[in-house]
Amino acid sequence: MSGIRKPAVILADSMEEYMAPPNPYKNPPKSKLNLLELGRYARRVGKTVDKLTAEEILQFKIG
């Protein structure tokens, strides 16, 4: 095992976009999750974000 965990839900438009290294000279893509509310929800239910299920995460998907 390499020690790298894949997320339960990949919200990138393509696998290439997900696997590509970030370009520091280009604006990042818009977030597809409301991360603030996701973090608040995780704290409220007493879990860390990486322990949330895919269904719980998808509640905070933006458009």
Residue 40: predicted pLDDT: 96
Question: How many alpha carbons fall within 13 Å on the CB side of residue 4?
Answer: 3
pLDDT in tens, 4-56: 665 556 566 666 666 778 888 988 778 888 999 999 999 999 999 989 998 99
pLDDT band at 3 (very low <50, low <70, confident <90, very high): low
Q: Tokens 């509310």 label which residue?
A: 37
The pTM of the full predicted model, rounded to 2 decimals, is: 0.58
pLDDT reported for residue 20: 75
The DSSP H or E segment spanning 58 is helix 54-58
Distance CA 15, CA 19 (A): 6
Which residues touch 5 (CB under 8 Å, ≥6 apart)? 50
